[in-house]
Amino acid sequence: MKKFVELTSRIVPLPIENIDTDQIIPARFLKATTREGFGENLFCDWRYDVNRVERPDFVLNNPLYKGQILVAGKNFGCGSSREHAAWAIQDYGFDVVISSFFADIFKGNALNNGLLPIQVSDGFLERIFEAVAKDPETRVLVDLYAQLVRLEASGDQETFEINPYKKSCLINGYDDIDFILNQRDAIEIYEAKIAG
């Protein structure tokens, strides 16, 4: 799994609430049998018109905004469990998603792929949107060790929560399967107990 420790980057703002995984990657693109290439259809129906011409009003098509951090409205990633949503965001080039609320399954999927979901307060999210509206070149620093997210220019910052196990997975690039495979004995003891 991809490691994550620290990042300072410009940000891409998407101040819409309840962005579901069907918006992130529509079902008709889920026919692929590998994990690669989903980035080109990230937010497809917002990004392109029916003739696959870029919609100039969508943020990914606006040359003012770029960066490895996506900042979105609350309840990000609701709906379908498709991990393709996390793959698409990562494949496009994002390493972090900041929101004031994440849907459970998306959050788990992101963490299992080294894409860091950061939950901040509603107020801090609002201040990030305000900062980037004033200055599209606004940069944000993310420090996973310190569990800290900071607007670089103003120094306005907030700490965030992350499960300590998941934190160590991200920092070391380990995944859950590596962890559970080492517990094979415990699993077989459990099975014997249930069968007995």
For binding to other proteins (CB under 8 A), which residues are involved?
A: 15-18, 20, 22-23, 26-28, 30-35, 45, 50, 73-75, 78-84, 86, 101, 103-105, 108-109, 112-113, 122, 126, 163-165, 175-177, 179-181, 183-184, 186-187, 190-191, 194
Residue 28 or 134: which CB sits closer to other proteins? Answer: 28
Least distance CB 154 / other proteins (angstroms): 21
Residue 86 CB-density burial (10 A; 0-12 exposed, 13-18 middle, 19+ buried): buried
Residue 106 or 150: which CB sits closer to other proteins? Answer: 106
SS3 content of the chain, % helix, strand, coil (to 5): 40, 20, 40
Least distance CB 113 / other proteins (angstroms): 7
- Bridge partner residues of 8 (DSSP): 141
Residue 112 or 147: which CB sits closer to other proteins? Answer: 112
Residue 22 or 152: which CB sits closer to other proteins? Answer: 22
Phi, psi of 155 (to 5 degrees): 80, 0
Distance CA 15, CA 37 (A): 25
DSSP summary character for residue 18: S
